[in-house]
Structure 1
Amino acid sequence: MTPILQAEGLSRYFGAVHAAEDITITVQPGEVVGLLGPNGAGKTTILRMIAGILAPDTGRVLIDGIDMAAEPLAAKEKIGFHSGDTQLYQRLNAREALEYFGRLYGVEESQLQKRIDALIAQLEMESFAERPCGTLSSGQKQRANIARAFLHEPDLLILDEPTNALDVVSGQFIVEAIRREKADGRAVLFSTHIMGEAEYLCDRIALLHKGRLVDQGTLGDLLERSGCANLTDAFLKTIGVRRTGEAA
């Protein structure tokens, strides 16, 4: 099976800082791959390079075989990108914002309202779909932004910490929405620093530390190689950090 995403040897430097170095990741259709690492590990830089927002200093990105550098528009048509920095138009209500982006994405008018209605139902947005985006809570804005990324049914979803700073209820809506997209055959690459989220969602997990990919594989692979019983301990051992009180 041909991967939807092939990212090969990606590096990005900001002066003397190596934000990401020699990153290689693939994602297959119907697969969820998580980038797991602490703040500053390089997760956002990697996702922005893959999404075509930030040009890598080395390496290449192929989206369903399309070279991002050579054919950026064709490659980006296959991507749904979500970042916490993404803003919706404050004066539009959530439904109007989705209508705007749906037309921008080229969703056929005959299908647009059906798709919006389905996402509003799936993400339980009925109570705020007609409210201006500027009045929404952070969790409501996050759900509306996730709906925007999912709207055109892209082959690859790239989600940068989609549940960051959300309450348990809002976070769970988004987690289950990701699982539905996976069940529909979409490839998902998302970043997180939440261990339980990675364990629950991911088919494979890539561990990042200081801009480098230090290990990747299934949860079982990571636990076996580290000799640990849980992902937190496996991650800490892999990056060389001991738990408090652990013998040297």
Structure 2
Amino acid sequence: MPTATPFVETLPSIIPYCGAPPVPDGFWSAWNGDPVLLSVFALAAVGYAALAKRHGAAMERHQPWCFAAGWLVLFAAFVSPLCNLTSALFSARVVQHLLTIQVAAPLLVLSWPIGAVRWPNWARTLASPLAVPEIAWGLFGLFLWVWHLPGPYMAALRFDAVLWGMHASLLVGAVAAWRTVLAPDGPAMRGRGLLSAFGTSVHLAILAALLIFAPQPLFVYHLDTTAPWGLSALADQQLGGLIMGVVGAAVYVAVNLYALARWLMVPERQRT
């Protein structure tokens, strides 16, 4: 990972999408009231309710609950004060990312009624490469690394469009990747998906180690934002690496064990 560039500008002049870096006093009142984002959440809920009403007979009982849980997790990640905390702490950004890619994304995959919705031919053709586990997990892994490099990370703080490109690519990439183990195109694909997911967990651990053992802070924006929270920028970065490496790994193990259990329930003759 590249080393941090010298601190040569007044970085607090950057006001990220989630607001100015907060301090502990009054933090819990810092909810994100962006009307566009709230409208997206409302439309998603209404759209899924309409889908469930139309295809209820094809849906399993757990699927609406999975959607509701995934919706709430994303709401917590982007509307609750956690969003504002990401402006102050890199470790909070890591938590936001993990909630998105390792909790909400699998829940959204489990919530979707496979086969109930017919996509246009062009959409199926466009998405077909993502049904290949190695491609889906490889692309997702690329997104993970890119958005935790200093340059792209700083660009996401500066520009709202880049920020939402980051969140969208991570969420869509995670949904495509988890689909290969939780709802694959045939049982044989599930085994390949599990192996690909294991590979991603390995290089996620490498990324976490680089964050933990870097000799200096890599994200210069946080040099002036972490002190009110009792952390240096380097300690905050190390905390983010620990969360990524320990909590992130635990979630990978849990979801993959769940997917493996589902796979083993399939008759052996159908696994190949």
**Do they fold alike, i.e. is TM over 0.5?**
no
TM-score (normalised: structure 2): 0.28
Q: Which has the higher strand share?
A: 1
Query: Computing the radius of gyration over CA atoms, which structure comes out larger, 1 or 2?
Result: 2
TM-score (normalised: structure 1): 0.30
